[in-house]
């Protein structure tokens, strides 16, 4: 099975490797996709369609529940939050992101129905819009790899996104669980997850969606319901429960279709260790923000630390970027070096 994994990874990398072509120079627009002005313009642009989306609930009033949604995690624990006629019992907090608070909650007293509540202030319905674009553009077979949002409640002061809850933790948790015992992930598992991520990005980018915050703490681990074999590894009919990873947190997502054709982006993601080369050199980018993030995640699985890169001289005065840490101890060294090489422009 190991050899089969390597062959499959090589085929995916070769398919995604851009081939040289003659491209005529053309004018293009450069935009900061995450600036307040850009987000405000986009939300205005989609406001009419947003209201028609299933699960979208908006009130011009501030949230008036018994317990403020912006209270501390401890203040909300074991409290009930009522939204849209449903009662959510807060069981705890799996974590807090840079832009929102996250809570684990049961629904209407049913301890078997668990969801994640993402509370954000000020209100921010953009992530819900991105989830609905995923519903529309991604096939049913591939859709479970990107998480689900059931509904969003938008108030004048705060928004609450109701999402699926997966109990097995994140890929970052899995990486750290190996490090605490002085180990790294098994190479075969690294390859398996890397292929999953390559499939994710191949699918996303083909429909004009950029995740924008591709890192291991935004990927939930999903345990397969059956043993993985050579035949089922890349099966196009596998169920959602068979996915290895689930990509979540779409607040930094970019819908390329909302911008004029040829638009490129100029901004830094602001996440240490995950700024792509174009960001580091203050050049415009598009899908590189995701593919660079994938390389960093794979590096973290293999080495247990974030990736440092170096410019390496090439032929004819050119140069390329490569990770500073070598792959000499890995049996798939040549394949991984091929996958990580990035020609400088």
Helix (H, G, I), strand (E, B) or coil at 139: coil
Partners of residue 302 on adjacent β-strands: none
The neighbour count for residue 77, using CB atoms within 10 Å, is 15
Q: Which residues contact 66 (CB under 8 A, 6 or more apart)?
A: 79, 80
Do residues 203 and 138 touch, judged by C-beta distance below 8 A? Answer: yes
Tracing tokens 């792509």 back to the chain, one arrives at 276
User: Which sign, positive or negative, has the C-alpha torsion 113, 116, 120, 126?
Assistant: negative
Do residues 5 and 12 touch, judged by C-beta distance below 8 A? Answer: no
Rounded Cα distance between 332 and 327, Å, is: 8
CA distances from 133 to 191, 207, 252, 289, 308 (A): 29, 10, 14, 20, 34
Rounded Cα distance between 222 and 125, Å, is: 26
Catalytic residue among 213, 217, 249, 290: 213
Q: Which residues contact 62 (CB under 8 A, 6 or more apart)?
A: 155, 156, 157, 158
Is 213 marked active-site? yes
Do residues 104 and 76 touch, judged by C-beta distance below 8 A? Answer: no
Give φ, ψ of 263 to 5 degrees.
-65, 135
Rounded Cα distance between 263 and 234, Å, is: 33
Angle between helical axes of 126-137 and 36-51 (0-180°, round to 10): 60
The neighbour count for residue 164, using CB atoms within 10 Å, is 16
Q: Which residues contact 259 (CB under 8 A, 6 or more apart)?
A: 29, 31
Q: Which two tokens stand for residue 269?
A: 């993601």
The catalytic site residues sit at 213
């Amino acid at each position: 099975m190991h050899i089969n994994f390597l062959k499959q990874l090589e085929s995916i990398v070769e398919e995604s490797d851009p081939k040289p072509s003659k491209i005529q120079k053309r004018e293009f627009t450069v935009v900061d996709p995450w600036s307040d002005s850009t987000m405000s313009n986009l939300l205005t642009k989609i406001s009419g369609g947003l209201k028609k989306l299933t699960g979208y609930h908006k009130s011009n009033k501030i949230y008036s529940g018994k317990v403020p949604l912006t209270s501390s995690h401890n203040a909300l624990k074991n409290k009930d939050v009522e939204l849209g006629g449903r009662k959510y019992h807060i069981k705890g907090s799996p974590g807090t992101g840079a832009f929102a608070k996250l809570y684990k909650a049961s629904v209407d007293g049913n301890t078997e129905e668990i969801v994640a509540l993402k509370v954000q202030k000020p209100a921010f319905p953009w992530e819900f819009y991105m989830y609905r674009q995923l519903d529309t553009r991604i096939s049913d077979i591939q859709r479970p790899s990107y998480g689900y949002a059931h509904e969003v409640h938008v108030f004048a002061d705060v928004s609450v996104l109701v999402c699926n809850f997966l109990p097995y933790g994140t890929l970052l948790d899995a990486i750290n669980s190996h490090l605490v015992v002085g180990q790294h992930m098994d190479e075969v598992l690294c390859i398996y997850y890397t292929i999953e991520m390559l499939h994710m990005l191949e699918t996303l980018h083909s429909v004009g969606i950029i995740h924008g915050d591709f890192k291991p703490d935004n990927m939930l681990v999903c345990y397969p319901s059956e043993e993985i074999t050579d035949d089922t590894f890349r099966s196009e009919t596998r169920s959602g429960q068979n996915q290895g990873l689930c990509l979540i947190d779409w607040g930094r997502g970019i819908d390329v279709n909302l911008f004029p054709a040829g638009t490129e982006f100029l901004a830094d993601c602001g996440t240490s260790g995950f700024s792509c080369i174009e960001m580091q050199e203050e050049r415009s980018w598009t899908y590189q923000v995701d593919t660079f993030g994938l390389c960093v995640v794979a590096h973290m699985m293999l080495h247990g630390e974030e990736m440092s890169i170096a410019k390496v001289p090439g032929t004819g005065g050119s140069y390329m970027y490569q990770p500073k840490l070598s792959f000499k101890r890995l049996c798939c060294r040549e394949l991984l070096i091929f996958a990580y090489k990035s020609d400088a422009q």
